[in-house]
Amino acid sequence: MARTKTFSKTLSNFDPLLQDIRTCLGENYAFYQECIVAITSAAARHDDMSAWLEQMQQVVEGVEAVGFSHAGVLFLLHEKIRGEGELFVIVLSPWQRVTNFNNL
């Protein structure tokens, strides 16, 4: 009898937010995901993330349905990166406000 290997993936706090964003963005989700990977990679190298954050904002701009989930992703990215001491300023386009999470 062949044994099947099962992989148990532990869900992260990102998963429900990203699923919602994936549903709302459709094919454009690939660009959003690319931005997340680039932001976390840049943070790990202590490089500037601002261009990727701006690109991410452009992907979700005009798609109000992703506003809450996008804000959640930005918050979780901040929490992930904050431990590395990076400055993280975000513009949340659905609400047109600037949020500086370093003052929390």
Q: Express each pLDDT in 77-104 by its tens digit.
A: 888 877 655 444 444 444 333 344 444 3
Place of tokens 């929390």: 104
Amino acid at 58: Q
Say if 63 falls within a structural domain.
yes
The one-character DSSP state at 30 is: H
| pLDDT score, position 5 | 53
Q: How many domains does the chain have?
A: 1
Say if 2 falls within a structural domain.
no
Range of the domain at 62: 14-103
Of residues 98, 84, 15, the one with CA closest to residue 53: 98
Say if 1 falls within a structural domain.
no
Q: Express each pLDDT in 23-61 by its tens digit.
A: 999 999 999 999 999 998 888 888 888 899 999 999 999
The pTM score is 0.70
